[in-house]
């Protein structure tokens, strides 16, 4: 028997003791202490007898029909009352030197059996409901944990899908550029291969991580822009400005790089003159503001906002920050994509 159940039974029997002693006191107010002591002995003996029998029987009758369970519980209460009464009488004789006539014993037995059925039924009903409530709460908590786990798996799958969607397109263009540089500028080709290796090492390393620091994300953005600059040349100019106090803040992995890729794809690449990409990370109103701005040609903001990368970013922001984070697209030429997240 677990300690918790033993303590619960003791408290319940103590309450029953007081109730019975108080009831008997109405008939004889002068003997409250005697009634309290006697009731305590009887309720404890009967209560723990029923407790022991119930602990053995109830787990074995859970699958029976209700009618049979109730019948077996009735037998348990009566048996516990009978055993407890016998033990209590012997305690009264040995310790309190009480004597019982046969008539007194029979009346006492009837009384105790009736109380055993009443209070035993109340106790079993209460603790059954309580245990069911605790089990339901535990199942609900487990369900919530499973849902959270599924959500995390979903976010991880989306991150991997985002990587798989971005990387082949980017890899194809970069390899073409490297192929063109091999004969013209071998050192530039070698440098680009190294940067490409760093970029893919980052995406593979962080596929198993839900968050990275802003500093890590900005570093890989710089690497990505250097690779793209090799392809676009002077058509692509960029700047990365940041508040140093923001660099250690944790953000979802691949949060900024897809925004920069969108700016190049939808802005710079479509403009013969090219353009500028500006990345800024600032602290504003006690929040971290991440802004990606490009000066390329105007694009359809609705289509861009509904793209796979943007949807993935929005969902990951909602999962990690709930309603405390925001993503918005502002204006065109220049176009700004702004993410605002809380600072821990």
Q: What is the pLDDT of residues 136-154, one digit of tens each?
A: 888 888 888 777 776 666 6
Residue labelled with tokens 């074995």: 60
As given in the structure block, the two tokens for residue 71 are 């019948």
Across 2-11, 32-41, 249-258, which has the greatest mean pLDDT?
249-258
User: What's the pLDDT score for residue 68?
Assistant: 77
As given in the structure block, the two tokens for residue 282 are 């600032």
Q: What's the whole-number mean pLDDT along residues 131-137?
A: 80
Across 47-61, 99-113, 222-236, 307-321, which has the greatest mean pLDDT?
222-236
Q: How many CA atoms lie within 13 A of 196 on its CB side?
A: 22
Which domains occur in the chain, in start order?
3-143 (no CATH), 149-342 (3.30.565.10)
| Span 241-282, pLDDT tens digits | 999 999 999 988 888 888 888 888 877 877 778 788 999 999
Residue 340's DSSP bridge partners are 289, 326
Across 41-45, 95-99, 276-280, 321-325, which has the greatest mean pLDDT?
276-280
**Percent of the chain scoring above 90 in pLDDT:** 11
Position with higher pLDDT, 46 vs 304: 46
Q: Are 330 and 336 in contact (CB under 8 A)?
A: yes
**Angle between the N-to-C axes of helices 308-321 and 102-184, in degrees from 0 to 180, rounded to the nearest 10:** 140
Q: Which residues of 254-287 are buried (b: 16+ CB within 10 A; e: fewer)?
A: bbbbbbbbbbbbbbbbeeeebbbbbbbbeeeeee
User: What's the pLDDT score for residue 249?
Assistant: 92
Flag whether the pTM goes above 0.75: no
pLDDT exceeds 50 at position 237: yes
User: What's the pLDDT score for residue 339?
Assistant: 93
Closest CA to 77 of 52, 59, 60: 52
User: What's the pLDDT score for residue 158?
Assistant: 62
pLDDT exceeds 50 at position 44: yes
Q: What's the whole-number mean pLDDT along residues 17-32?
A: 70
Give the pLDDT band (50/70/90) at residue 300.
very low
pLDDT exceeds 50 at position 183: yes
| Span 320-330, pLDDT tens digits | 887 889 998 88
User: What's the pLDDT score for residue 102?
Assistant: 80
How many whole angstroms separate alpha carbon 261 and alpha carbon 40? 79
Closest CA to 328 of 343, 342, 309, 314: 314
pLDDT exceeds 70 at position 155: no
pLDDT exceeds 70 at position 161: no
pLDDT exceeds 80 at position 113: yes
Q: What's the whole-number mean pLDDT along residues 234-246?
A: 91
């Amino acid at each position: 028997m677990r300690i918790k159940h033993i303590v619960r039974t003791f408290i319940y029997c103590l309450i029953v003791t007081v109730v019975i002693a108080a009831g008997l006191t109405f008939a004889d107010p002068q003997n409250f202490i005697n009634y309290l002591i006697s009731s305590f002995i009887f309720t404890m003996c009967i209560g723990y007898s029923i407790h022991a029998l119930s602990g053995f029987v109830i787990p074995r009758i859970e699958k029976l029909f209700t009618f049979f369970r109730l019948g077996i519980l009735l037998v348990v209460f009566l048996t516990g009352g009978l055993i407890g009464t016998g033990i209590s009488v012997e305690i009264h004789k040995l310790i309190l030197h009480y004597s019982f006539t046969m008539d007194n014993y029979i009346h006492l037995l009837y009384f105790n059996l009736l109380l055993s059925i009443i209070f035993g039924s109340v106790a079993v009903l209460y603790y059954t409901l309580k245990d069911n409530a605790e089990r339901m709460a535990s199942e609900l908590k487990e369900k919530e944990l499973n849902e959270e786990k599924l959500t995390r798996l979903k976010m991880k799958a989306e991150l991997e899908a985002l990587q798989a969607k971005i990387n082949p397109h980017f890899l194809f263009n970069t390899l073409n550029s490297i192929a063109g540089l091999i004969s013209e500028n071998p050192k530039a080709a070698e440098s680009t291969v190294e940067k490409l290796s760093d970029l893919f090492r980052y995406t593979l390393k962080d596929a198993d991580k839900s968050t990275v620091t802003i500093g890590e994300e900005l570093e890989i953005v710089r690497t990505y822009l250097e690779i793209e600059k090799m392809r676009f040349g002077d058509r692509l100019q960029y700047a990365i400005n940041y508040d140093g106090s923001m660099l250690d803040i944790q953000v979802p992995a691949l949060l900024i790089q897809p925004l920069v890729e969108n700016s190049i794809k939808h802005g710079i690449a479509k403009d013969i003159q090219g353009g500028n990409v500006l990345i800024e990370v600032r602290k504003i109103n006690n929040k971290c503001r991440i802004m990606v701005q490009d000066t390329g040609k105007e694009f359809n903001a609705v289509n861009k906002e509904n793209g796979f990368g943007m949807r993935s970013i929005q969902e990951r922001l909602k999962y990690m920050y709930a309603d405390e984070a925001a993503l918005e697209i502002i204006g065109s030429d220049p176009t700004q994509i702004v993410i605002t997240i809380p600072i821990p």
